[in-house]
Amino acid sequence: MSVTFTVSKCTLPVAGDVCFKLTGLKTFYVTSQPIYIWPGASPYQAIAKAGIASVLSVRDPAEYILPLTPFDLTETDQLILNGVAYSNIPLPHIAMSQAQFNQQALNVAATLHQWERPGLIHCSSGDRASAAFACYLISFCGFSNTDAVNFAKSLALQNQQFIGYVNAYPAPGQA
């Protein structure tokens, strides 16, 4: 039997307002890159004030050159200074094999599974973060690949490469 999540829009300061709050046995936020909106406080202060205890970025640090939503090189420091734990497990836009994706995705899923308090997972647009959350659903919540992909598409998953990766992602013990 799969775990259910209630999905609602959230209002954290993130690129393109791609912000979803998922409430179930645990609370997760799946978002795009946190951004500064002037005038205003740091997006990382807003994340801490929302009660989010952990942030997982699935961005590749090499994305610092992207023009609209560069990898924020201050994210780690600002989250730690605001009392929020930070991890980075990249799901980069490269031609990685299915086995390479599976390794990274399982690490992401295991990290999300360990969280006890609300946590946020993000990428630049919410697309890869949604794909990563789908792998968590497959690994630990009893979702089929098809159901996990459909759930992730209801968030922000659009990239065909990552849809294919998630469709082929094996639940632990099936690899």
Confidence band, pLDDT 50/70/90 cuts, at residue 90: very high
68: pLDDT strictly greater than 80: no
pTM confidence score: 0.94
Q: Are 1 and 142 in contact (CB under 8 A)?
A: yes
Q: What angle do CA 122, 23, 13 make, to 5 degrees?
A: 40
Torsion of CA 64, 13, 137, 75, to 10 degrees: 40
How many angstroms separate the CA atoms of 58 and 49, rounded? 22
Residue 67 is predicted with a pLDDT of 66
Full set of structural domains in the chain with CATH? 6-168 (3.90.190.10)
User: Which residue shows structure tokens 């929020």?
Assistant: 84
Strands 27-31 and 119-122: what pairing? parallel
Residue 12 is predicted with a pLDDT of 96
Residue 63 is predicted with a pLDDT of 81
Residue 56 is predicted with a pLDDT of 98
Question: Using DSSP, how many helices (H) and how many strands (E) does the chain show?
Answer: 6, 6
Residue 175 is predicted with a pLDDT of 57
Q: What is the pLDDT of residues 103-138, one digit of tens each?
A: 999 999 999 999 999 999 999 999 999 999 999 999
Tokens read off for 33:
């890159």
